[in-house]
Amino acid sequence: MIRRKNRALALGGVCMSVALLTAGCLQGGDDGGGGGSGASDVDGGGSDGDGVVEILGAFGGTEADSFNKELKAFEDESGIDIQYTGTPDFQTIISSRVRSGNTPDIGFFPQPGTLVELGEEGDVAPVDEVIDLAAVEKTLIPGLLDAGTAEDGTVYGAPMRVAVKSLVFVPQGPYEEGGYSLEPQSVEELIEISDQIKADGIAPWCIGYGSEGSTGWVGTDWIEEFMLRLHGPEVYDQWYRHEIPFDDPKVQEAFEAYAQIVKGEGYVRGGSTAIINTTFDQAGTPAFEDPPQCMLHRQGNFITGFFPDDVQSNLDESVEVYYFPPVEDGYDGNPVLGGGDVAAAFNPDDEEVVKVMEYLTADTFGTTWAGDGGWLSPHTTFDGSAYVDETTRKMGEIAAGADVFRFDASDLMPTEVGGGTFWEGMVEWTTGDKTTEEVTAEIEESWPSE
């Protein structure tokens, strides 16, 4: 599932605008604790002890079906009726329900910036009042709690699933026949692979920015990848919090690193015109033509659901996937860019809500859903044998192998930037209409005053 990026919320209205202000601290307000000990100042959700726990989230369709299937054994054992509602307008709906005092018991937040803002307003409970956060953190992918952490160190939610973007997909047969490496150790080695593919008469990269009113978001993901790999998580956090300006030399360095690929002569199928006019969901399709029209497709784990039907029906025999590697002399580690759904409690004093939160945030949650596909665990200790296929298992291993995880930065920036000028700037920069200096300066000028 791909979610459009023009999101976030202002509690005084339904306008979509928020900047996430977080610290890198992973601990909550208490050193251990949790499990609902003590009364919380937060008192939302439904009636306590009524046997029903209402959850509001952003995913629906087959994902909601798989989630409900996952819940069945827990509901049967606990006697709790979990009522889930999924809406693509989560940001608007949760804002409205908070203002009207009609919150769900639990919310699944795809944008943790919204969660932090609600927590700081006193509408969501610190998650360590509901679960044993210290125990959960031991098995989580490092960095996952950061985006839901306020400046004072309070953590307001824990992830119940993740999405991974730092992936490179290739057509298995032609790629192996070409003798190209499936284990590049650096972006520099990835460039060498690109040169090999180009020398064999194939455009190395499949890239498409098209997404109707959201055209350009794919380009922002690329900049985020390079910000993480060049400068590490601390600078990445400074960037999306606007502690450094958008036209800082470090940000411009990320643009120039991406330029090696997106502006490399003959590197992208169709060049800049095709990049802008090809929709993100169809960008990888030419890789599966005979012969392939491109080979390398950097995208999130959701993209397999957009591959041709014959590829999807035989994914393990049609596709290889590997980690988008680090940069030589950059950040010393293996960062992963992505997203996820973060569970938070509006009704922390209800013991049934506590039980459901403990269940959702455990490393054993998701084994049924994993068998259906479309779900990755946020825990390094999750049993990967539960995943539906080897391709998904590899993606789960890549996520679990991260030494730090960071949420999509444009989703954490004010909407005017992350869902506006950053998208637009990527289009103008990719087509060559504006330089790196011009685009980054204009995005900086668009940042709303605090």
Listed residue (28, 197, 53) closest to 125, CA to CA: 28
The type of residue at 424 is: E
pLDDT for 147: 86
Closest CA to 118 of 277, 260, 12: 12
> Which residues contact residue 199 at a Cβ distance below 8 angstroms, ignoring those fewer than 6 apart?
none
> How do residues 249-293 score in pLDDT, each as one tens digit?
999 999 999 999 999 999 999 999 999 999 999 999 999 999 999
Q: What is the predicted pLDDT for the residue at 6?
A: 33
pLDDT number for residue 225 = 98
Is it true that domain 167-335+411-446 has CATH number 3.40.190.10?
A: yes
CA 68 to chain centre: 22
* Dist. CA 145–CA 25, nearest whole Å: 8
Residues forming a β-bridge with 170: 320
Q: Where are the beta strands (DSSP E) in 324-371?
A: 335-345
Q: Enter the tokens of residue 271.
A: 């060049």
pLDDT at residue 32, rounded to an integer: 37
Helix (H) or strand (E) holding 82: strand 81-86
What pLDDT is attached to residue 369?
Answer: 97
The 3-state DSSP class for residue 211 equals coil
Task: Give the tokens for residue 327.
Answer: 């940069």
Paired residues of 343 in beta bridges: 108, 158
* Helix, strand, coil fractions of the chain, as percent rounded to 5: 45, 15, 40
CA angle 403, 409, 411 (to 5 degrees): 130
Residues 6+ apart with CB under 8 A from 5: 214, 217, 220, 408, 410, 411, 418, 419, 423
* CA gap 189, 328 in Å, rounded: 9
Token duo for residue 247: 């036209």
- Which residues does residue 54 pair with via DSSP β-bridges, in sequence order? 83
Q: Are 9 and 18 in contact (CB under 8 A)?
A: yes
* CA atoms of 290 and 313, how far apart (whole Å): 18
Closest CA to 195 of 207, 178, 183, 208: 178
Structure-block tokens of residue 334: 């293996």
Calpha distance 434→300 (Å, rounded):
27
**Rounded to two decimals, what is the model's pTM?**
0.88
| Joined tokens for residue 73 | 């054994």
pLDDT digits (tens, 9 = 90+) for 121-164: 999 999 999 999 999 999 999 999 998 999 899 999 999 999 99
Cα separation, 381 vs 358, whole angstroms: 16
What is the domain class of 52-161+342-403 according to CATH? Answer: alpha beta
Q: Which among 1, 65, 55, 54 is positioned nearest to 368, based on CA atoms?
A: 65
Domain limits, CATH 3.40.190.10, in the chain: 52-161+342-403, 167-335+411-446
Which residue spans within 250-392 are E strands per DSSP?
294-299, 319-323, 335-345
The H or E element spanning position 204 is: strand 203-205
Q: Which residues of the chain have pLDDT under 50?
A: 1-38
